[in-house]
Amino acid sequence: MTSTVFITGATSGFGRAAAHRFAKAGWKLILCGRRQERLDTLQQELSSLTDVYTHVLDVRDSTAVNAVVEALPKDFLPITSLLNNAGLALAPQAAQNVDLSDWHTMIDTNITGLVNVTHALLPSLIETGAGASIINVGSIAGQWPYPGSHVYGASKAFVQQFSYNLRCDLLGTGVRVTDLAPGLAETEFTLVRTKGDQAASDALYEGANALSADDIAEQMFYLATLPPHVCINRLEIMPTTQAWSPFTVKRQS
């Protein structure tokens, strides 16, 4: 039986790279994102490799999520793997200088959207059973704080703990859950975070030899194709050029 992967945030970055990686392996694709034109492009690029089903979706809208899941074509069911990839960071300034609306957007996307899609697809994943997997895209920010991370880091800490607790509840179903936590990766992430500041994005990645979207997609595929009895609870991945720094101390003058 052909495997099927459901990918949120498929129109850019990790999600788009994952769509290409899974398509090359012959997996059926269910691709969701907010940009119709990019979904159409993916359909054109990948339909010669595998069956592709696309749908415009804002994961923050639980009614829309449930409607998409209920309308999935039967030949794409049951779902083998869910890649909860949709998410974003905004407002890298200090917390006291951030618009509250940016915090709400991160919470609504990174937390509410994640639980909306997971809840809707759990019955299908449990139907698949052994070998099924939920791969939640977290971040090293969920484990390691830094200035300007505020709600973004907190939302990714939620991803980690939700993954762990979901894993406990799914014990015995065969469904695996992984918190995949990338470090510095060169995608549209910083452009979104800085609301289009290309110079800021270029400066962050210059000379860093950061991870690529393809690097993360390869890890997603690895996690999804492990033997059914193997579950990696958390996979933290950084470029070799990135590591932790000492604590910062604000000294009195």
Active site residues: 152
CB neighbours (10 Å) of residue 175?
24
Q: Which of 159, 158, 181, 173 is nearest to 232 (CA)?
A: 181
Do residues 172 and 124 lie in contact, with contact meaning Cβ atoms separated by under 8 Å?
Answer: no
Tell me how far apart the alpha carbons of residues 196 and 8 are, in angstroms, rounded to a whole number.
22
In the block, residue with structure tokens 């270029």: 202
What does residue 113 show for φ and ψ, rounded to 5 degrees? -60, -40
Q: Which of 19, 14, 15, 8 is nearest to 55 (CA)?
A: 8
Backbone torsion region of residue 150, taken as left when φ is above 0, otherwise alpha when ψ lies between -120 and 50, otherwise beta: left
Tokens of 106: 């991160």
